[in-house]
């Protein structure tokens, strides 16, 4: 199990990495190495989407696969919102015509 979170302050811009380590998996340092190797392999990108509450924009560094997942989920959300909104308006018009 692996968790990636943003740091709590704008001065500390590196992300926070946590992972659950069951004793039968491997030595904790081996697991940490594997996690860091995975991050190195996929690369990191700057995330500007999550600093909207900051006084000054903050760029967080996150693995590129996390950024890709974030973008895809935003796209799916927009699609669902658009499709649902059109359905609601069509249903509303039907009700108003009655």
Distances (CA, A) of 53 to 6, 25, 92: 13, 39, 36
The pLDDT of residue 5 is above 90: no
Spatial distance between the Cα atoms of 39 and 61, rounded to a whole number of angstroms: 11
Average pLDDT, stretch 49-58? 71
pLDDT tens digits for range 56-79: 777 777 888 888 988 999 999 899
pTM (predicted TM-score): 0.57
Structural domain containing residue 73 = 2-97
Spatial distance between the Cα atoms of 89 and 87, rounded to a whole number of angstroms: 5
Mean of the per-residue pLDDT values of the chain: 79
* Domain count along the chain: 1
3-state class (DSSP) for residue 60: strand
Spatial distance between the Cα atoms of 62 and 1, rounded to a whole number of angstroms: 17
- Is the Cβ–Cβ distance between 10 and 58 less than 8 Å? yes
Instruction: Quickly state the pLDDT bin for 6 (edges 50, 70, 90).
Output: low
Least confident of 15-19, 37-41, 67-71, 84-88: 15-19
The pLDDT of residue 86 is above 80: yes
The pLDDT of residue 81 is above 80: yes
**Cα–chain-centroid distance for residue 6?**
10
Spatial distance between the Cα atoms of 6 and 58, rounded to a whole number of angstroms: 11
């Amino acid at each position: 199990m692996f968790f990636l979170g943003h740091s709590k302050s704008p001065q500390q811009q590196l992300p926070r990495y946590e992972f659950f380590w069951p004793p039968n998996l491997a030595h904790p340092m081996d697991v940490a190495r594997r996690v860091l190797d995975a991050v190195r392999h996929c690369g990191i990108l700057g995330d500007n989407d999550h600093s909207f509450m900051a006084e000054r924009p903050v760029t967080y560094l996150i693995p590129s696969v996390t950024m890709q997942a974030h973008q895809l989920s935003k796209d799916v959300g927009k699609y669902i919102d658009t499709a649902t909104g059109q359905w609601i308006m069509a249903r509303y018009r039907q009700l108003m015509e009655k």
